């Protein structure tokens, strides 16, 4: 018996975008959807009651981090993740395999965890210094990070990977932890999430062909082991690997699609640019059947969401909307000046907002924008007041929920391409 069911309610006539519904034992998820990330069983700065009030449909928690702290066995004793968080809607968990990248290559190769799925782009965006940047700051209150040095210093690789599994050295206490498919499935079973991921090795964009192939072969064996060991009350997604090498992606897609996973996730390195990512999806998605939901791991910028939905992705997860909020970047709709160039953001740190009595986004209906001014938020940010984190997170989260709702409405009404034009212009 299946742990979830998936139904396509409408297929867009002009693109591969699809409106869908995932049914789980904890409720339904309308897709396309960006799943808010609750790494340590919490969307940072918010409570589970906030999530429900904002209309969050589901959430994604992190297997590796919860295994370390507070421990999956403790969470099982306390009734599982839903009861632990007091969040009774569907929960996804990842498999822990992503930490092979974030604690391994990401540190060793000096590539940071999130934006650096595209490291070259981050480091070499043309003409983002000097006058143009000043100009952007004036126009949008947003200054691009100077491209000089990568963000992270080269650090120790905290993983040891073999065909048997992955050993992780905890960055906090230095203790070693070992994960393999069986253990990852056991931890996810203890957590009691609704949708779980097969254990895999996530490679770096800097991994070469031979290494990526080796890791992919290993992940394929682990995918089968995950299928053997997983808790049947949970829906297991297989993860397609293969980096940005066409033949590897094709092989991994055929392998994962041929197995009885309840959903398919696309993981691993997606290349060095957004174009590479589109290419990876074009190698992958047309080879998948229509019946199973498709998840793209770790992607969540507005332009990426639109491009990937157009190619047939149903769900995404990404820490970016809430993380950037904490760092001062607040999302802006096209009606309020948001565009591709300013990444639909304003930077609340900018002195131009010192006496700005307008809300973050005058067209936003989130609780924060109903009475809080940019000036007040800037003051809270500069003063490092804790309330800033909550108010800013509420805005960015609400903004993305509303954006995805708009995407779903547009597929329902047959106006998806018009919506894409409104946000991205051109085409």
Are 36 and 45 within 8 A, CB to CB? Answer: no
d(CA 138, CA 302): 22
Q: Report the alpha-carbon distance of residue 295 to residue 290 in Å, rounded.
A: 13
Q: How far is the CB of 391 from Zn ion (least distance, A)?
A: 9
Nearest by Cα to 102 from 319, 329, 277, 301: 319
- The reply to whether 314 belongs to the active site is no
Q: Which of 121, 126, 128, 127 is nearest to 145 (CA)?
A: 128
According to DSSP, the residues that pair with 316 across neighbouring strands are 34, 296
* Marked catalytic residue, from 12, 72, 94, 200: 94
**DSSP label of 102:** I
Q: Measured between alpha carbons, how far is 196 from 3 in angstroms, rounded to an integer?
A: 11
Q: Which CB, 223 or 377, lies closer to Zn ion?
A: 377
Instruction: For the CB of residue 118, give the shortest distance to Zn ion in the complex, in Å.
Output: 28
Least CB distance to Zn ion at residue 359 (A): 6
Stretch that binds Zn ion, among 11-19, 219-227, 343-351, 395-403 (CB under 5 A): 395-403
The answer to the question of residue 395 lying near Zn ion (CB under 5 A) is yes
Q: State yes or no: residue 369 binds Zn ion (CB under 5 A).
A: yes
Q: Which stretch binds Zn ion (CB under 5 A): 41-49, 287-295, 331-339, 390-398?
A: 390-398
Residues touching Zn ion, count (CB under 5 A): 5
User: In the structure, how many helices (H) and strands (E) does the chain have?
Assistant: 17, 16
Marked catalytic residue, from 200, 255, 314, 317: 317
- Among residues 22 and 51, whose Cβ is nearest to Zn ion? 51
Please say which residue, 390 or 395, places its beta carbon nearer to Zn ion. Answer: 395
Backbone angles phi, psi at 202, to 5 degrees: -90, 120
206 binds Zn ion (CB under 5 A): no
Residue 284: both structure tokens together: 């992958």
Alpha-carbon distances of 348 from 339, 357, 360, rounded to whole Å: 17, 13, 9
The answer to whether 54 contacts Zn ion (rule: CB under 5 A) is: no
CB of 85: closest distance to Zn ion in angstroms?
24
Q: Which of residues 92 and 388 has its CB atom nearest to Zn ion in the complex?
A: 388
Is residue 282 part of the annotated active site? The answer reads no
User: What part of residues 308-367 is at the interface with Zn ion (CB under 5 A)?
Assistant: 364, 366
Q: At what angle do helices 386-413 and 374-382 cross, to 10 degrees?
A: 130
- Choice between 58 and 400, CB closer to Zn ion: 400
Residues that bind Zn ion (CB under 5 A): 364, 366, 368-369, 395
Catalogue the active-site residues: 94, 317
């Amino acid at each position: 018996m299946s742990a979830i069911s998936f139904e396509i309610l409408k297929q867009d006539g002009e693109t591969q975008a699809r409106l869908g519904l995932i049914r789980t034992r904890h409720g339904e998820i309308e897709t396309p959807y960006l799943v808010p990330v609750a790494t340590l069983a919490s969307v940072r700065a918010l409570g589970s009651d906030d999530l429900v009030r904002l209309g969050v449909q589901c959430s994604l928690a992190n297997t590796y981090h919860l295994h370390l702290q507070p421990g999956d066995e403790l969470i099982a004793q306390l009734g599982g993740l839903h009861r632990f968080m007091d969040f009774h809607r569907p929960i996804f968990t990842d498999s822990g395999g992503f930490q092979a990248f974030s604690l391994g290559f990401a540190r060793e190769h000096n590539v940071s965890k999130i934006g650096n799925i595209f490291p070259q782009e981050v480091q070499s965006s043309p003409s983002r210094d000097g006058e143009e940047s000043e100009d952007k700051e004036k126009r949008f209150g947003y200054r691009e990070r100077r491209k000089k040095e990568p963000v992270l210093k080269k650090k120790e690789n905290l993983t040891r990977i073999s065909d048997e599994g992955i050993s992780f050295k905890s960055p906090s206490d230095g203790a070693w932890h070992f994960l393999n498919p069986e253990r990852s499935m056991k931890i996810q079973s203890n957590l009691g999430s609704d949708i779980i991921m097969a254990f895999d090795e996530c490679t770096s964009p800097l991994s070469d062909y031979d290494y990526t192939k080796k890791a992919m072969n290993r992940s394929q064996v682990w995918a089968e082991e995950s299928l053997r060991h997983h808790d049947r009350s949970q829906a297991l997604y297989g993860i397609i690997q293969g980096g940005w090498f066409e033949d590897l992606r094709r092989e991994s897609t055929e392998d994962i699609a041929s197995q009885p996973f309840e959903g398919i996730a696309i993981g691993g390195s997606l290349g060095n640019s957004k174009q590479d990512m589109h290419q990876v999806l074009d190698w992958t998605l047309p080879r998948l059947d229509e019946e199973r939901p498709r998840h793209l791991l770790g992607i969540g910028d507005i332009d990426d969401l639109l491009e990937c939905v157009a190619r047939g992705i149903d769900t995404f997860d990404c820490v970016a909307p809430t993380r950037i909020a904490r760092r001062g970047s607040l999302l802006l709709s096209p009606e309020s000046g948001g565009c591709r160039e300013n990444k639909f953001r304003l930077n609340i740190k900018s002195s131009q907002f010192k006496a700005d009595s307008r809300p973050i986004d005058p067209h936003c209906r989130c609780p924060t924008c109903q009475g809080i001014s940019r000036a007040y938020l800037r003051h809270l940010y500069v003063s490092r007041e804790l309330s800033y984190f909550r108010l800013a997170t509420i805005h960015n989260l609400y903004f993305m929920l509303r954006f995805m709702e708009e995407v779903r409405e547009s597929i329902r009404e047959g106006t998806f391409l018009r919506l894409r034009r409104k946000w991205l212009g051109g085409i």
